């Protein structure tokens, strides 16, 4: 490629480019850029060019067709300070080796075995709730999904430790997102500023917890059939076990990536259900028909189609991993533009998921968009909450199962209403969180109360997402 040729975009300030506009309101600003400059736009952050893609075909090219030209993006580089070289942050050949090693933990049969843990721990929470109590659903969902991932992947009940791990992982999320959007972030990271000290303290706490798990498992290497045993018992070509450091990086990655995202997805789902009683009533009717008051199992999931559609639609509007950015390590010609190595390329699911070209009335929460017929009319990458290509979320089947089972278990017994006046503000850090939490009132419901609503609205049968390759 001869000379760089960037697409049009906002000029921004002479030295800083658009960094201040972006930091003030990342989603609002990027939305404005997409509306003004179209499907390929250049946003300058200091000396760095960041290309924003808005068309599903280009996003597919970035994530799938030309993925070998990319490394993980700037946020991943900061995440690596906490996660080391785990699956989310490593590059080939390490990434490929570790992905192959970990993949079996997410196969269908293994996922099925996690279902009982998911419902049992959710039922514990449903038992804890009291009528008319106020709960912060953002916190409740974090505690719950953390406890589930701890038991499913590490065979450990981390109920006690969750009060330490939850806040520590919040600090990691805040810090990473903050520093990775500062041009002098790498410099600030090296200074003993209060935020950096908080971050390194949180990381040390997480380290102590994970290294303790590893030490206990090394002391007794009996195969417990969980992911931690897979890591501990793995041997390379020369028969050597994985170094503790690498086990730690993989475990830490799965612990953090495996709970915050699903927790945010569920928090937004409860919020949307509370705002849309007609959707909630259809959901309740499905639960009453399929489950008739008993706890859901793995085998119920194909029958919980409307529940799945609700979850699909919630993460369309509020994708927990709201955008992904990658770094070009080789030149890339996209349309008429010539991007040199070193350019950042970004795709923001939050924006594409609300693009009226693919989503009529995009702001409307409408689970009926998820019938098989409606899905078939949309390009594959108009919806990518789990990314795509070789870096697609490894935990996707886990997340679908967990989302559906948690919704089904709690919504059977409880109805949630937003506490009047509670401010709901999406905050795009590494994950998309409600900035002030989600304070809700819990009200008991009697299974059967909405019977009959399903008549005429039964969704068409479709292969549910857990069956997808
Ligand atoms: C609703 C829940 C979830 C969402 C929306 C989500 C989203 C994503 C996305 C968009 C990526 C790709 C990021 C990139 O482009 O680099 C990703 C990667 C990843 N996710 Fe998830 N995730 C969820 C749940 C989970 C769960 C439950 C686990 C584990 C138990 C998990 C583990 C991972 C890992 C390890 C990666 C890195 C994969 C790789 O690079 O090979 N995620 N996730």
Q: What is the DSSP secondary-structure string of 6-72?
A: PPP----BTTTBTHHHHHH-HHHHHHHHHHHH-SEEEEEETTEEEEEE--HHHHHIIIIITGGGEEE
Q: Ligand 1 centroid to 457 CA: how many Å?
A: 32
- Domain co-membership, 145 together with 105: yes
**Residue 379 and residue 20: Cα distance in Å, rounded?**
34
- Domain co-membership, 197 together with 335: no
Q: Ligand 1 centroid to 165 CA: how many Å?
A: 19
Q: How many CA atoms lie within 13 A of 169 on its CB side?
A: 27
User: Which domain CATH number covers 61?
Assistant: 3.30.43.20
Rg (CA), the chain: 22
- What does the pLDDT read at residue 286? 97
Under 8 Å between Cβ of 266 and 122: no
- Domain co-membership, 315 together with 327: no
Write down the residue that tokens 């080391």 correspond to. Answer: 84
Q: Which long-range contacts (CB under 8 A, 24 or more apart) does 98-101 make?
A: 98/246, 98/250, 99/390, 99/394, 101/230, 101/231, 101/234
- The CA distances from residue 241 to 171, 217, 230, 392, in Å, are 32, 13, 11, 27
Per-position DSSP letters for 395-431, written without gaps between them:
THHHHHHHHHHHHHHHHHHEEEEEPTT----EEESSS
- Domain co-membership, 371 together with 457: yes
Q: What is the number of helices (H) and of strands (E) in the chain?
A: 18, 12
Domain boundary, last residue among 352, 369, 396: 352
Residue 392 lies in a domain: yes
Q: Report pTM.
A: 0.94
* Residue ranges making up the domain that contains 332: 19-83+323-352
Residue 145 lies in a domain: yes
**Residue 347 and residue 386: Cα distance in Å, rounded?**
12
Write down the residue that tokens 């609205």 correspond to. Answer: 457
- Domain co-membership, 296 together with 435: yes
Q: What's the structural domain count of the chain?
A: 2
Which residues have any ligand 1 atom within 6 Å of their CB?
72, 87-88, 99, 149, 253-254, 257-258, 261-262, 265, 315, 320-321, 324, 385-387, 391, 393-395, 398-399
Residue 79 lies in a domain: yes
- Domain co-membership, 223 together with 329: no
Q: Ligand 1 centroid to 53 CA: how many Å?
A: 20
Q: Ligand 1 centroid to 387 CA: how many Å?
A: 8
- Domain co-membership, 289 together with 328: no
Residue 11 lies in a domain: no
Residue 31 lies in a domain: yes
- Domain co-membership, 235 together with 330: no
292 Cβ neighbours under 8 A, 6+ residues apart:
447
Q: Ligand 1 centroid to 323 CA: how many Å?
A: 12
Please state whether beta strands 134-136 and 48-53 pair in parallel, antiparallel, or not at all (unpaired).
Answer: unpaired
- Domain co-membership, 314 together with 334: no
- What does the pLDDT read at residue 252? 94
- Domain co-membership, 267 together with 377: yes
Query: Among 63, 99, 249, 321, which residue has the most ligand 1 atoms within 8 Å of its CB, making it the best to mutate?
Result: 321
Query: Among 258, 386, 393, which residue has the most ligand 1 atoms within 8 Å of its CB, making it the best to mutate?
Result: 393
Q: Take atom 30 of ligand 1 and give the residue whose Cα is closest.
A: 258
Cross-strand partners of 326: 72, 345
- Domain co-membership, 78 together with 103: no
- The CA distances from residue 140 to 229, 257, 265, in Å, are 29, 17, 13
- The CA distances from residue 278 to 273, 315, 367, in Å, are 9, 19, 11
Cα–Cα–Cα angle for 463, 466, 469, rounded to 5 degrees: 85
- What does the pLDDT read at residue 466? 57
**Residue 397 and residue 308: Cα distance in Å, rounded?**
12
**Residue 432 and residue 438: Cα distance in Å, rounded?**
13
Atom of ligand 1 nearest to the CA of 95: 41
- Domain co-membership, 334 together with 405: no
Residue 6 lies in a domain: no
Q: Take atom 23 of ligand 1 and give the residue whose Cα is closest.
A: 261
Q: Ligand 1 centroid to 115 CA: how many Å?
A: 19
Ramachandran bin of 335, using left for φ above 0, alpha for ψ from -120 to 50, beta for the remaining angles:
left
Residue 2 lies in a domain: no
Nearest to 257 by CA among 404, 80, 467, 438: 80
Cross-strand partners of 344: 50, 327
Residue 92 lies in a domain: no
Nearest to 431 by CA among 52, 88, 47: 88
pLDDT beneath 50: ranges in the chain: 455-463, 467-469
């Amino acid at each position: 490629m001869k000379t760089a040729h960037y697409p049009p975009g906002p000029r921004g300030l002479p030295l800083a480019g658009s960094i201040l506009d972006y930091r003030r309101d990342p989603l609002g600003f990027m939305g404005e850029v997409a509306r003004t400059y179209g499907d390929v736009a250049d946003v300058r952050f200091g000396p760095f060019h960041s290309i924003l893609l808005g068309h599903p075909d280009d996003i597919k090219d970035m994530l799938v067709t030309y993925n070998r030209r990319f490394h993980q993006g700037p946020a991943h580089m900061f995440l690596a300070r906490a996660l080391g070289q785990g699956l989310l942050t490593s590059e080939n050949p390490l990434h490929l080796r570790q992905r192959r090693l970990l993949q079996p933990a997410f196969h269908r049969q293994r996922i099925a075995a996690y279902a009982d843990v998911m419902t049992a721990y959710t039922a514990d929470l449903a038992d804890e709730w009291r009528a008319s109590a106020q709960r912060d659903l953002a916190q409740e969902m974090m505690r719950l999904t953390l406890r589930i991932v701890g038991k499913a992947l590490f065979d450990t009940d981390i109920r006690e430790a969750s009060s330490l791990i939850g806040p520590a992982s919040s600090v990691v999320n805040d810090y990473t997102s903050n520093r990775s959007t500062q041009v002098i972030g790498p410099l600030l990271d090296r200074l003993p500023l209060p935020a950096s000290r908080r971050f390194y303290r949180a990381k040390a706490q997480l380290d102590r917890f994970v290294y303790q798990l590893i030490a206990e498992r090394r002391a007794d290497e009996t195969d417990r059939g969980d992911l931690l045993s897979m890591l501990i018992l793995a041997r390379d070509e020369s028969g050597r076990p994985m170094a503790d450091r690498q086990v730690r990086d993989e475990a830490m990655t799965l612990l953090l990536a495996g709970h915050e995202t699903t927790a945010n997805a569920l928090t937004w789902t409860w919020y949307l259900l509370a705002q849309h009683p007609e959707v909630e009533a259809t959901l309740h009717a499905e639960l009453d028909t399929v489950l008739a008051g008993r706890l859901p199992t793995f085998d119920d999931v194909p029958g919980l189609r409307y529940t799945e559609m609700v979850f699909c639609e919630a993460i369309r509007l509020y994708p927990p991993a709201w955008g992904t950015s990658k770094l070009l390590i080789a030149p890339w010609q996209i349309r008429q533009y010539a991007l040199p190595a070193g350019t950042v390329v970004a795709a923001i699911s939050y924006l594409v998921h609300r693009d009226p070209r693919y989503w009529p009335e995009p702001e409307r929460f409408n689970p009926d968009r998820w019938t098989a017929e409606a899905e078939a009319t949309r390009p594959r990458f108009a919806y990518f909450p789990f990314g795509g290509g070789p870096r697609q979320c490894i935990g996707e089947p886990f997340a679908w199962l967990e989302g559906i089972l948690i919704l089904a278990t709690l919504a059977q017994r409880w109805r949630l209403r937003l506490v009047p006046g509670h401010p709901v503000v999406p905050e795009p850090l590494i994950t998309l969180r409600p900035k002030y939490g989600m304070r809700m009132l819990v009200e008991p419901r009697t299974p059967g109360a909405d019977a009959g609503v399903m008549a005429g609205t039964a969704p068409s049968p479709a292969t549910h997402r857990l069956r997808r390759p």
